[in-house]
Amino acid sequence: MSTLRLGDTAPDFTQDSTAGMIRFHEWAGDSWVVLFSHPADFTPVCTTELGKTAALATEFAKRGVKPIAVSVDPVDSHHAWVKDINETQNTTVNFPILADADKKVATLYDMIHPNSLVNATVRSVFIIDPKKVIRTTLTYPASTGRNFDEILRVIDSLQLTDSHKVATPANWKQGDDVVIVPSIQDPKELAERFPKGFQAVRPYLRMTPQPNR
Ligand code: BEZ
């Protein structure tokens, strides 16, 4: 195990799950993936997080993203917990939960931070692109449930900035103005790429309407 960094290839693994045995890279196929860990089954914050992820299924699908959860409990426990999640969160969990009782995935992805939480995973998030490259990592403590709208917002930014020479400013969300990357300086290229124009607040801070809107 070594620390995984942005730009690294997401390690492949084979592990059991609520959807059967998963060979990770094969399962991911050409999709984006959100791989996210939870401290344990039948815990309150985790229950709300999995419920929220299930409720956002259409939003993940719209973006070509497959969510997959990790919890270091056996698959029978996961199945019983899913029943609870569905009942209490009024949803249907429709993505796999890895049964990582042997901590294979947790170790591979460095999800156990023993000085924070002994022997269980913290709330790690890995956003992985279709080439299996790790594009974002987030780490939250056990006491803080994640904001899944933020995870979708990061995916929106990654997908937009992969296809246009822009970056997204603080608190950006779909439809807001974006910034032009500093490497684009040629006036002809600027006019071609940004036909709606741009505002140079400073030479290095140029705002333009979201190009694909
Ligand atoms: C929870 O998911 O609610 C939780 C798990 C471990 C520690 C604290 C809270």
pLDDT tens profile 22-35? 999 999 999 999 99
* Among candidate residues 93, 111, 145, the one where a domain is terminated: 145
Question: Which residue in the list 46, 68, 70, 97 is annotated as catalytic?
Answer: 46
The share of the chain scoring above pLDDT 90, in percent, equals 98
Do residues 23 and 83 share a domain?
yes
Report residue 60's pLDDT band, with 50, 70 and 90 as the boundaries.
very high
Identify whether residues 135 and 30 lie together within a single domain.
yes
Residues 49 and 113 both lie in one domain? yes
170 shares a domain with 90: no
Q: Residue 74: which of 53, 92, 98, 95 has the closest Cα?
A: 98
Look at residue 1 in the predicted model and tell me its pLDDT.
54
Total tally of structural domains belonging to the chain: 2
The DSSP-derived string for the chain is: -----TTSBPPP-EE-BTTS-EEHHHHHTTSEEEEEEES-TT-HHHHHHHHHHHHTHHHHHHTTEEEEEEESS-HHHHHHHHHHHHHHHTS---S-EEE-TT-HHHHHTT-B-TTTSTTSB-EEEEEE-TTSBEEEEEEE-TTS---HHHHHHHHHHHHHHHHSSEE--TT--TTS-EEE-TT---HHHHHHH-TT--EEEETTEEEE--TT-
Cβ of 46 closer than 6 Å to ligand 1, yes or no, is yes
* Domain assignment present for 26: yes
Say if residue 90 is in the same domain as residue 32: yes
- Cβ of 44 below 6 Å from ligand 1: yes
CA 123 to ligand 1 centroid distance, Å: 10
CATH number of the domain at 105, please.
3.40.30.10
Q: What is the pLDDT of residue 18?
A: 98
Atom 1 of ligand 1: nearest residue by CA position = 45
User: Ligand 1 center to residue 41 CA distance, Å?
Assistant: 9
Q: Is residue 152 part of a domain?
A: no
Ligand 1 pocket, 39 CB below 6 A? yes
pLDDT digits (tens, 9 = 90+) for 113-148: 999 998 899 999 999 999 999 999 999 999 999 999
Q: What pLDDT, on the 0 to 100 scale, is given for residue 89?
A: 98
**Residues 21 and 126 both lie in one domain:** yes
Mutate to test the pocket of ligand 1, among 38, 43, 111 (most ligand atoms within 8 A of CB): 43
Mean pLDDT, the chain, integer: 97
Ligand 1 center from residue 46 Cα (angstroms): 7
Q: Given this model, what pLDDT does residue 2 score?
A: 65
179 bridge partner residues: 167, 207
Q: Are residues 185 and 106 in the same domain?
A: no
Quick one: 140 and 202 in the same domain? no
Q: Do 68 and 105 belong to one domain? A: yes
Q: Is 46 a residue of the active site?
A: yes
CA of 11 to the centre of ligand 1 (A): 26
Residues spanned by the domain of 49:
14-145
Query: For position 119, what pLDDT does the model report?
Result: 86
| Range 191-200 average pLDDT | 96
**Does 204 fall in a domain?**
yes
* Whether residue 107 is found in the same domain as residue 184: no
